[in-house]
Amino acid sequence: MRSPDRFLLLFLSTQLCLRSLVAEPFDYPTAAPSTSWTNNPSLENNFTYADGSMVRAILLCSSNPSFEGLSFAAGFFCNAACDAFLFAVFIVYTDSGAVIMDPVMTASPQVVWSANRDRPVRENATLHFTEDGNLVLRDADSTVVWSTNTSGRSVLGMNITASGNLLLFDRKNASIWQSFDHPTDSLVPGQTLREGQRLIANISTTNWTRGQFYLTVLADGLSAFVDSSPPQVYYIRSFSGPEAKNKSAYVTFTNGSLEFFDSFTKRGVPDENITLPSASSVQHMRLESDGHLNVYGWSYQTGWNVVDDVTSQELDNCAYPTVCGEYGICSNNGQCSCPGGTNSGSNYFRPINARQPNLGCSPVIPLSCQSLQDHQLVALQDVTYFSSLLAVEYGTYFPSVASLNLKTEESCKQACLKNCSCKAAIFQYGQNTSDHGSCFLPWQLFSLMNNQPTVTHYNSTLYVKVQIVPRTTNGTLNSPTSRKKVMGVGVILGSTIGALFAVLLVVGLFVLFMRKKNSNMEEEDQFDQVPGMPTRFSFEELKVATKNFCKKLGEGGFGSVFEGELGDMRVAVKRLDGIGQGKKEFLAEVETIGSIHHVYLVRLIGFCAERSYRLLVYEHMCNGSLDQWIFYRNQDVSLDWQTRCRIITHIAKALSYLHEECRQRIAHLDIKPQNILLDDNFNAKVSDFGLAKMIDRDQSHVMTRMRGTPGYLAPEWLTSRITEKVDIYSFGVVVMEIVCGRKNLDYSQSEESFHLISLLQEKVKEDRLLDLIDNHSNDMHLHHEEVIEIMQLAMWCLQIDSNKRPSMSTVVKVLEGAMNVETCLDYNFVTTTPVMSSNVNHLDASPQQSASLLSGPR
Ligand SMILES: *[C@@H]1O[C@H](CO)[C@@H](O)[C@H](O)[C@H]1NC(C)=O
Ligand SMILES: *[C@@H]1O[C@H](CO)[C@@H](O)[C@H](O)[C@H]1NC(C)=O
Ligand SMILES: *[C@@H]1O[C@H](CO)[C@@H](O)[C@H](O)[C@H]1NC(C)=O
Ligand SMILES: *[C@@H]1O[C@H](CO)[C@@H](O)[C@H](O)[C@H]1NC(C)=O
Ligand SMILES: *[C@@H]1O[C@H](CO)[C@@H](O)[C@H](O)[C@H]1NC(C)=O
Ligand SMILES: *[C@@H]1O[C@H](CO)[C@@H](O)[C@H](O)[C@H]1NC(C)=O
Ligand SMILES: *[C@@H]1O[C@H](CO)[C@@H](O)[C@H](O)[C@H]1NC(C)=O
Ligand SMILES: *[C@@H]1O[C@H](CO)[C@@H](O)[C@H](O)[C@H]1NC(C)=O
Ligand SMILES: *[C@@H]1O[C@H](CO)[C@@H](O)[C@H](O)[C@H]1NC(C)=O
Ligand SMILES: *[C@@H]1O[C@H](CO)[C@@H](O)[C@H](O)[C@H]1NC(C)=O
Ligand SMILES: *[C@@H]1O[C@H](CO)[C@@H](O)[C@H](O)[C@H]1NC(C)=O
């Protein structure tokens, strides 16, 4: 399939693409009509990423020199589960031969456009570029899923441009159809969002069906909405102030800013820009399923990361519509609770899931339009609503969401009670007492915002609608029509039934109340009484102990660590981020970790599981983490050979205990110097064990991700089953770092030696291991024979075949002199090294390297 494409290329490619075309056979940005591609292994430029996602490229333009190895490609893409594919445009990393690869081993392809993402296709789906110039996507069963509808419009070819635009062009090179005109949830640099066009977010992070958030350009600015009927606005960036301009407008994503234009100023004079971090290479911008607008940037150390969140430049965390689900109240930047708490609202709402307060709340008695007379408005104290604030400021532009003609609080409430669809009445007082207020009547009530006077205080009142009568089994008693009938029959009968009804109501409410109370009590009890656990602290206690988290000791993969004092004991308090699991699971994990005691493992003293806070309290280690001592960042003090040797032995014993001796086998999965702490006598203790498992219980998308840190990852992360052997590989890397006094991946070194393990491979073959010993320390050189022996041990641990690595108990025996290092070692530690080295700005790396990449583990 490639050869005809390439042929056409000779005539069609841009200058940019031409440059690499001459040299590189795999760059193929263009295709001619009468071609079809089937989504199966016949698409050869494919790559499976560590998280399980896969791309199969059809068109690829790898030649924008400023992208430093990143390329736009069009083809089939499947996400982590890989059970469904999209025809998409994505950004991938390619080597100098335009072969897709992943230099950081944790990246995933970045999808910036896709065809009909509501309807993914299967293996063997086909993309057909028909003779008459139509591009059609058919699923494996031949149903048409998507088409550009460009038959008969003299399409001459299709190409992917260096800026990521998929386009069909005619004889005059004029664009007949282009993906930039049909944005999905992302923008790439140079792409424009025009008035009326929308970016629509995924429904969730694991499902690319179009969800409820969208970003659009209106005549007066950029706005983000949550779709309900009518849509509610939560973000506005106006061109210049709240005055309408009535001009056709657009926004362009450029390197470093979002530029605003209106069509009257065709000269391209922007009215207002949003400043973004400027990029060294390609960026893209994506509307997330939680309503944030994130800018992603690429780095060789860490792959793709969020470098900016555009909406949060103006919005508080609580101002996102779904942050606490429907009816949930958001306070303190993300704590969720239900309306009520201690006041009258408490009987009306309950959490949808008590363990996950961010899912929101539901009315205990659902609102029913059959019994409108039983609707009531309950005032919620110190609460306001995201959209009402904007509606007041910009109300005239959003007549659908704000009823501005209702000038008093009372008329606002009445209007809500009269309309069954209205879920709440929010009345916002004017700035001055003379100003009229405004009334906001949402038909769907998303998250509420705490409006404590201490924070920015909005003078508004919020009433939420509730149903006061519990519906009986079949609506016969309390439906308005039947009640009228009853009254007609006679007052006595009527009042009897009325009394009966009242009794039913009281009993009903009582039962409901008791049930709710019981379930709450059960839960709390369960949480509090777990025997044999480390001490449980309240969040307040830990806040005091750490002086409001003021002194940060470090930051790890799972959260930040703060210094604290409990009584006269110094402690390290770890605040975990992004643990989605419920309290029960968390407590089970804490119990496990708390029951593991070993002299070379950092001891867990206590924990806190309150609301969504999850904290762990560890013993404090005076000398901090090992990396501070071996990489010479802060101090010039150099550890002597004895100390280094002891530290290595302690780590080995700790891992041997975790792997082989303790009740529950534990693989650490993130062994690195930052996780090895030193006490005042330089005894080493391993920290962060057990956390990998805790995080794994998190949502499924995290579960499929790779764990660990680049530089310490064993090769089998890419391919096979993960066992505790990955720790042994990481241990080998750490040992090399300790004896060489440098990081495994050290980009400040020259290109040949930035990767220590590659250097080791080279030196051991040349028999020049001495070159590697830490030059800061004479003591190390004095003991060079022992140091070389330890390097041999490290090399045993670094075997690519995990079965050839020693067990941790064997390592301990070697360190104690009871055993010798295996003599028959494989001195190739890095089949993947070429991947690593070709990423450092040297796209012209020799072609043999990519050949070995291809045969390397995928
Ligand atoms: C169309 O673009 C190609 C590649 O940039 C160029 O070689 C060709 O001359 C262009 N054709 C016309 C009619 O402009
Ligand atoms: C990837 O392409 C190769 C040919 O280069 C093919 O053998 C292999 O099956 C393909 N893999 C997938 C998953 O499509
Ligand atoms: C795809 O088509 C090929 C050839 O027709 C067939 O061998 C293969 O089983 C199909 N794969 C699937 C998943 O249907
Ligand atoms: C092509 O036409 C169909 C039917 O009119 C329509 O549903 C579809 O959205 C069109 N496709 C594009 C890309 O405009
Ligand atoms: C892609 O098509 C556009 C429009 O015809 C043209 O300007 C551009 O040069 C083409 N690029 C390639 C790589 O053929
Ligand atoms: C959208 O869903 C797809 C499919 O699960 C996923 O790969 C992608 O990361 C999601 N994107 C966002 C912005 O959540
Ligand atoms: C994605 O969400 C849609 C709408 O809620 C649902 O119909 C579909 O089954 C979901 N797909 C997956 C793979 O979960
Ligand atoms: C802009 O103004 C013109 C005339 O004043 C009016 O007809 C048109 O509907 C307005 N457009 C918008 C988008 O408000
Ligand atoms: C917006 O950005 C462009 C390009 O970076 C710059 O030329 C222009 O002056 C900026 N406009 C404003 C109002 O900051
Ligand atoms: C809110 O506005 C009302 C009416 O203007 C006024 O009576 C009340 O004092 C204001 N409250 C605050 C806290 O500003
Ligand atoms: C209520 O009763 C009617 C007639 O007895 C029946 O058709 C209907 O399904 C019932 N509704 C409910 C919600 O049980």
Which 3-state string (H, E, C) describes 566-622?
ECCEEEEEEEECCCCCCHHHHHHHHHHHHCCCCCCECCEEEEEEECCEEEEEEECCC
Ligand nearest to the CA of 113: 6
Inform me whether the pLDDT recorded for 538 exceeds 90: no
State which of 619, 647, 672 marks the end of a domain. 619
Three-state SS at 483: helix
Q: Is the dihedral of CA 829, 832, 837, 840 positive or negative?
A: negative
The strands making up 303-309's β-sheet, listed across from edge to edge, are 186-187, 283-287, 293-299, 303-309
Separation of 85 CA from ligand 3 center, angstroms?
15
Mean pLDDT of the chain: 77
Which pLDDT score, from 0 to 100, does residue 692 have? 61
Q: Which domain holds residue 388?
A: 355-471
Residue 405 shares a structural domain with residue 423: yes
Q: Which residue's structure tokens are 């607008």?
A: 293
Which pLDDT score, from 0 to 100, does residue 21 have? 34
CB within 6 Å of ligand 10 — which residues?
Answer: 429, 433, 459
Of ligand 6's atoms, which has the minimum distance to the CA of residue 206?
5
Residue 206 shares a structural domain with residue 230: yes
| 391 vs 196, more confident | 196
Of ligand 4's atoms, which has the minimum distance to the CA of residue 149?
1
Ligand nearest to the CA of 8: 5
Residue 304 shares a structural domain with residue 374: no
Residue 242's pLDDT band (cuts 50, 70, 90): very low
Residue nearest to atom 4 of ligand 2 (CA): 44
Residue nearest to atom 14 of ligand 9 (CA): 273
Q: Is the CB of 9 under 6 A from ligand 5?
A: no
Query: Of the spans 179-188, 223-232, 657-666, which averages the highest pLDDT?
Result: 179-188
* Mean pLDDT within 484-501: 42
Please check whether residue 348 lies inside any domain of the structure: no
Residue 55 shares a structural domain with residue 161: yes
The answer to whether 160 and 73 have CB atoms below 8 angstroms apart is yes
Residue 464's pLDDT band (cuts 50, 70, 90): very high
Contacting residues for 297 by C-beta, under 8 A, at least 6 apart: 277, 279, 280, 281, 283, 304, 305, 307
Q: Is the CB of 12 under 6 A from ligand 1?
A: yes
Which pLDDT score, from 0 to 100, does residue 152 have? 86
Separation of 109 CA from ligand 5 center, angstroms?
24
As for how many domains the chain has, the answer is 5
Residue 476's pLDDT band (cuts 50, 70, 90): very low
Tell me, yes or no, if the pTM score tops 0.85: no
Please check whether residue 309 lies inside any domain of the structure: yes
* Mean pLDDT within 268-290: 77
Instruction: Give the model confidence (pLDDT) of 701-722 as tens digits.
Output: 222 334 566 677 776 665 556 6
* Mean pLDDT within 313-331: 90
Which pLDDT score, from 0 to 100, does residue 272 have? 67
Residue nearest to atom 13 of ligand 7 (CA): 207
Please check whether residue 856 lies inside any domain of the structure: no
Q: Is the CB of 123 under 6 A from ligand 3?
A: yes
Please check whether residue 407 lies inside any domain of the structure: yes
Please check whether residue 495 lies inside any domain of the structure: no
Which pLDDT score, from 0 to 100, does residue 505 have? 53
Q: Which residues are catalytic?
A: 670
Average the pLDDT over each of 166-175, 210-219, 299-308 and give the range with the smallest value.
Answer: 299-308
Residue 172 shares a structural domain with residue 249: no
Residue 453 shares a structural domain with residue 562: no
Please check whether residue 239 lies inside any domain of the structure: yes
Residue 359 shares a structural domain with residue 288: no
Q: Is the CB of 421 under 6 A from ligand 3?
A: no
State which of 619, 654, 688 marks the end of a domain. 619
Instruction: Give the model confidence (pLDDT) of 612-658 as tens digits.
Output: 788 899 988 888 889 888 987 656 678 889 999 999 999 999 999 88
Of ligand 9's atoms, which has the minimum distance to the CA of residue 272?
13
Q: In terms of Cα–Cα distance, which of 85, 207, 63, 212 is closest to 137?
A: 85
Residue nearest to atom 3 of ligand 2 (CA): 44
Three-state SS at 654: helix
Helices 725-740 and 641-656, axial angle in degrees (round to 10): 170
Separation of 118 CA from ligand 6 center, angstroms?
12
Separation of 455 CA from ligand 10 center, angstroms?
16
Instruction: Give the model confidence (pLDDT) of 29-82 as tens digits.
Output: 888 888 999 999 999 889 999 888 999 999 998 766 666 788 899 999 998 888
Instruction: Give the model confidence (pLDDT) of 791-828 as tens digits.
Output: 999 999 999 888 899 999 999 999 988 889 988 899 98
Residue 80 shares a structural domain with residue 202: no
Please check whether residue 505 lies inside any domain of the structure: no
State which of 122, 150, 182 marks the end of a domain. 182
- Torsion-angle region of 65 (φ positive above 0: left; ψ -120 to 50: alpha; else: beta): alpha
The CA distance from 190 to 10, in Å, is 26
* Mean pLDDT within 831-855: 31
Which pLDDT score, from 0 to 100, does residue 157 have? 93
Please check whether residue 453 lies inside any domain of the structure: yes
CATH of the domain at 285: 2.90.10.10
Residue 703 shares a structural domain with residue 829: yes
Three-state SS at 686: strand
CATH of the domain at 688: 1.10.510.10
Which pLDDT score, from 0 to 100, does residue 395 have? 53
Ligand nearest to the CA of 119: 7
* Mean pLDDT within 455-468: 77
Residue 603 shares a structural domain with residue 651: no
Residue 608 shares a structural domain with residue 631: no
Residue 686 shares a structural domain with residue 824: yes
DSSP sequence for 159-193:
EE-TTS-EEEEETTS-EEEEGGGS--SEE-TT-EE
